[in-house]
Amino acid sequence: MKIFHLKEKLYKWLFTILAFASLFFLIGIVLVLIKEGLPIFHKVSFSKFIFGRFWYPTYSPAEFGIFPLIMASIWVTLGAVIVCVPLGIGSALYLNELAGVRQKAILKPIVELLASIPSVVFGFFGMVILTPFLQKVFNLPTGLTALNASIILGIMATPTVCSIAEDALNYVPNAFREASFAVGATRWQTLTRVVIPAAGSGISTAIILGMSRAIGETMTVLMVAGGAAVMPHTFLEPVRPMTAAIAAEMGEAPVGGDHYHALFAIALILFVITFVFNIIAEMISRRFRIKLGLSG
């Protein structure tokens, strides 16, 4: 009897610890980012770091302005949104409203399978197929550009957007559709005036999480974005998003040096951005569930 109780307790503790492990990791990572990132601000002011237009970390004197990197991340992410929103939402609408049961049973797993392709494979695809194509079409010196990264990231974010948006459409009770048909609405009217507005915040969540996927992606942008740490002017120029800068430069930055700290500070800023994205997504999706009368 006693051993049994002991075992029960042991299990409880074991799983409690495991459950809290993620929290510890999160806090640990944030603390390290802060500890290693903050020292750079003794060298450069915060605003100069964020809005500085020159990123010459290895020059002497070095310049630590990450504005070109931030802009590159924003451009590439927005470009990815332009690609993944029509693709992802469009396929979600098709899957949920038009495809038959069997078609959906086959198609949805396939779309989700797209998410399981390693990012390096996407990057490879961009380098080998998209790069020469873009170079030829736009007659560019290099096909490794913001456009290239946007397209590949957009395709990579599509399964995220599609899957979450499809879930949102699925959550819209069938009773709403029936009610709409029953007053003489067409399928299109039902879709645009009842189903999509009802799923609206769920769809916004899907887009935000897709963006968060795109902005945090590293390997692909490292491979196809071109890597030039200068202010982007058009989508047809090489850029260096924040993630690519960290990945490319961390290996050569001397530990404890200014460059090293600057890279950690970039990581910290990136973390804050994705964190905010995820919070917003969570808030919107909570409102969505309340709106549809599902549990908060």
Output the smallest distance, CB 110 to another protein, in A. Answer: 21
Judged by CB under 8 A, the residue of 51, 186, 234, 283 near another protein is: 186
From CA 261, how far away is CA 43, in angstroms rounded?
10
From CA 169, how far away is CA 182, in angstroms rounded?
20
Q: Which stretch binds another protein (CB under 8 A): 149-157, 161-169, 193-201, 273-281?
A: 193-201
Decide whether 194 or 231 has the Cβ nearer to another protein: 194
Please state the separation of Cα 3 from the chain's center in Å. 48
Judged by CB under 8 A, the residue of 194, 219, 231, 247 near another protein is: 194
Judged by CB under 8 A, the residue of 121, 179, 279, 283 near another protein is: 179
Decide whether 131 or 201 has the Cβ nearer to another protein: 201
Q: x/- contact string, 81-110, with another protein (CB under 8 A)? A: -------------------xx---------
Site membership for another protein, residue 61 (CB under 8 A): no
Exposure string of 230-248, with b = 16+ CB inside 10 Å and e = fewer, is bbbeebbbbbbbbbbbbeb
Output the smallest distance, CB 207 to another protein, in A. Answer: 20
From CA 76, how far away is CA 146, in angstroms rounded?
6
User: Using an 8 Å Cβ cutoff, are 52 and 65 in contact?
Assistant: yes
At 10 the three-state DSSP class reads helix
Q: Is 16 exposed, middle or buried (0-12, 13-18, 19+ CB in 10 A)?
A: exposed
Site membership for another protein, residue 293 (CB under 8 A): yes
Task: Tokens 């929103």: give the residue.
Answer: 85
| Side chain identity, residue 29 | I
Site membership for another protein, residue 291 (CB under 8 A): yes
Decide whether 50 or 185 has the Cβ nearer to another protein: 185
Q: Is 11 exposed, middle or buried (0-12, 13-18, 19+ CB in 10 A)?
A: exposed
Q: x/- contact string, 12-41, with another protein (CB under 8 A)? A: ------------------------------
Decide whether 94 or 124 has the Cβ nearer to another protein: 94
Decide whether 177 or 259 has the Cβ nearer to another protein: 177
| DSSP character at residue 239 | B
Site membership for another protein, residue 282 (CB under 8 A): no
From CA 31, how far away is CA 12, in angstroms rounded?
28
Q: Which stretch binds another protein (CB under 8 A): 14-22, 143-151, 158-166, 187-195?
A: 187-195
What residues make contact with another protein under the rule CB under 8 A? 100-101, 173, 175-186, 189, 193-194, 197-198, 291-293
